[in-house]
Amino acid sequence: MRVMENEVLRVTVADHGAELVSVLDKETGAERIWSADPTVWNRHAPILFPFVGKVNGGVYRTEGREYEMKTQHGFARDREFVCVKESPDKLIHKLVSDEESLRIYPYSFTLYVTHQFAPENPRKLMVSWEVINESTGKMYYSIGGHPGFVVPAQEGEKRSDYYLEFPGKDKVTYILLNQENGLAQPEKTEDLVLEDGYYPIKEHIFDRDALVFENGQVQQVRIAGPDRSPYVTLCCEGFPYVGIWSKPEGKFVCLEPWIGRTDNDGFAGDLSQKAGEASLDAGESQMYSYSIEFHK
C-alpha cells in the first residue's frame, strides 16, 4: 500500500492493480471509497484494461487469431504493478506486458497509472493513464476507471436519499445491457429526465445492471446528498463513455469514465471493429486523465 496525503485527504493506492483503495477525509474522519466487502462487491476502484466490460462469449479476434478473455474488464486489475514514484502528493505505478499477458492479449505495452492531488484544490484527486504501444504494429485496447464511492455517507440515510446530478442537462440517455450476458444493446435506450440536472438514485435504478452513457454526452457527473449538496464530482472531459453502477444491495455508487465499452450483443467481428475501441500505432502513446472531487 502506498500513501499520499495533504491537509484534508489521505489517499491509499495498492500496488496490486494500482487500485485506489482508500480516501479518508481528515476533516470529517469519513472514508469515501467503498470497502470492497466481498459479500457484496470485492473491489474498490479497479482499472479496466485492456478491455472494458465483456467480450462476446469470452472470445475475441485479432490479427487472424482467436483469444480467450473469460473475465470482464481485462486483466490489469489483477496484476502487480511497480510503484515508480512515491511522494507526498503523487504516486505513479507501472505495468509492462509479459509472457503471461501475451498469451491472452497479443500486444506488448507499458501502462502508467498516476494518482496525484490537484494543485488548485486539495479535495480533488487527479487520475491519469498513459498507454504505450511497445508492439511493432497497431495495438487495439480499451481502458476505464471503476471507482466506487460510499453512499449513503451518514447513519440513518439510505442510498435512495441521494441524487445523480448532470450539471446543465435536462435529459441524458443510456443504452441497455442484456442482463443474461452483460453485452450492450445500443438499439435499446432509455432516458433519465432530470429536474434542474438532478435524478434520484431510486431503489431499483441498478436492477438491470449499469447505466451506460455514450457519444460523449456525460463529461461531468456528481453524486449529491439528500439536500442536493455536492458529495462527489467526476470530471472526465473527452471521454466517450461513462458508466454508473452499483449492486442493488450495495451501499456504494460507481462513477466510471471509459475509453471503450462492452461488446455489442452478438458481436463476432475483429477487435478493430469493436464499438469504441481505441488504437495506437507502433511506438505511439496516449494520455487520459479524469478527476474526482470529494466535497466536504
For cell 511493432, name the residue: 136
Band of residue 71 on the pLDDT scale cut at 50, 70, 90 = confident
Helix (H) or strand (E) holding 104: helix 99-104
- CA–CA gap between residue 195 and residue 167 (Å, rounded): 11
Average pLDDT of the segment spanning 172-182: 94
- Looking at every residue in the chain, the average pLDDT score rounds to 96
Q: Is the dihedral of CA 234, 139, 262, 193 positive or negative?
A: positive
Instruction: Return the percentage of the chain with pLDDT > 90, whole number.
Output: 94
SS3 assignment, position 161: helix
C-alpha cell recorded at residue 244: 454508473
pTM: 0.94
C-alpha cell recorded at residue 268: 463476432
Please, where are the H alpha helices in the chain?
99-104
C-alpha cell recorded at residue 35: 470497502
- CA–CA gap between residue 89 and residue 119 (Å, rounded): 9
Band of residue 249 on the pLDDT scale cut at 50, 70, 90 = confident
What is the set of domains in the chain, with CATH numbers? 2-294 (2.70.98.10)
pLDDT digits (tens, 9 = 90+) for 102-151: 999 999 999 999 999 999 999 999 999 999 999 999 999 999 999 999 99
pLDDT digits (tens, 9 = 90+) for 8-38: 999 999 999 999 999 999 999 999 999 999 9
C-alpha cell recorded at residue 279: 488504437
